[in-house]
Amino acid sequence: MKRFTLLTSVSLAVWLASLAPSFAQANKDAKKDAPKDAKKDAQPKKPNPVQAPDVAAPKFQDGEPSAGFIKTHEGYVATAKAGGVDVLFLGDSITAGWRGNGKEAWEKSFAAYKTANFGIGGDRTQHVLWRITNGELDGIKPKAVVLMIGTNNSGSDDADGIARGVTAIVKAIHAKSPATKVLLLAVFPRGEKPNPQREKLAKVNETIAKLHDGKSVHYLDIGAKFLTADGTLTKEIMPDFLHLSKAGYQIWADAITPKLAELTK
């Protein structure tokens, strides 16, 4: 009887040992499946609020004000409070790009001015309007503001709405600093070939061109300088057919330098 019990115990131990790899694999599989289940149980991201292009609003991400946007804005407010800005560039990532691909052209063309670059990637008209009304011109009275904005609105807003947004920005600048002259640039062309989005932006430009009065607002359309004779945008000028290369920024700098000199006398 003792021998039988011993043999039974040994057999049971062997059998349990044989199951160990299966248990281990099952544990691994359970852990592997856990993240998938967690994703299923995760709360869906909050939708961002619908924003009108001519009503001041901060940028949102996942239903909340974008932390990166707010942080960058606060840095610009601090720059404004420090004062000493004669020429302010205001806009989206294309303007922000003066710190990247445009750095060389910026240093060569605008070194004589006390400049500031308040460009934020992804900004739309309502975001720039919000930034102005929330401190980015408090503490400075620039001689000139170079404004180019609206391309990021073109996927969701109509031409009239975008033009209203640009108009609201110009008015907000003068509400903060009446003597500032705005060098209002036509929204740059985008896309390799002529396309509906370009056509929409052309309508925006046609409307905002009427803001030109030769005194406080000076409208300038330099878009054709980026294009070939048949209207093509090349990768040499805009590698992604939206953002400028070093050559593209030099074209921009050369195109506005004479006018900027006139406006800052």
Written as six digits, the tokens of 125 are 């008209």
Following DSSP, what letter does each residue of 86-131 receive, concatenated?
Answer: SEEEEESHHHHGGGTTTHHHHHHHHTTS-EEEEE-TT--HHHHHHH
Architecture of domain 60-263 in this structure = 3-Layer(aba) Sandwich (3.40)
Res 63: pLDDT: 95
- Burial class (CB within 10 angstroms; exposed 0-12, middle 13-18, buried 19+) of 78: exposed
Determine the 3-state secondary structure of 52 from DSSP. Answer: coil
For residues 137 and 76, what is the distance between their CA atoms, to the nearest angstrom?
A: 9
Antiparallel, parallel or unpaired: β 64-65 and 60-61: antiparallel
**Residue 50 vs residues 55, 122, 163, 257: alpha-carbon distances, Å:** 11, 16, 18, 38
Which of 93, 158, 212, 221 is the catalytic position? 93
Which one of 54, 66, 243, 245 is the catalytic residue? 243
Give residue 38's pLDDT band: very low, low, confident or very high (50, 70, 90). Answer: very low
Write down how long the chain is: 265
pLDDT in tens, 69-104: 999 999 999 999 999 999 999 999 999 999 999 999
Q: Dump pLDDT digits (tens) for 196-218.
A: 999 999 999 999 999 999 999 99
Judge whether 127 counts as a catalytic residue: no
- 16 pLDDT tier (thresholds 50, 70, 90): very low
Phi then psi dihedrals of residue 68, to 5 deg: -65, -40
pLDDT of 45 = 81
Average pLDDT, the chain: 89
pLDDT at 187: 98
| CA dist., res. 166 & res. 51, Å (int) | 15
The catalytically annotated residue of 29, 33, 37, 240 is 240
pLDDT digits (tens, 9 = 90+) for 101-141: 999 999 999 999 999 999 999 999 999 999 999 999 999 99
What pLDDT shows up at residue 234? 98
Q: Distance (Å, rounded) from C-alpha 260 to C-alpha 112?
A: 11
> Which residue, among 147, 194, 168, 170, has the nearest Cα to 160 in the 3D structure?
168
pLDDT in tens, 143-159: 999 999 999 999 999 99
Pairing relationship of beta strands 181-185 and 217-220 according to DSSP bridges? parallel
Tens of pLDDT, residues 177-198: 999 999 999 999 999 999 999 9
Give residue-wise pLDDT tens across range 46-62: 999 999 999 999 999 99
Q: What is the reported pTM?
A: 0.84
Active-site annotation holds for 93? yes
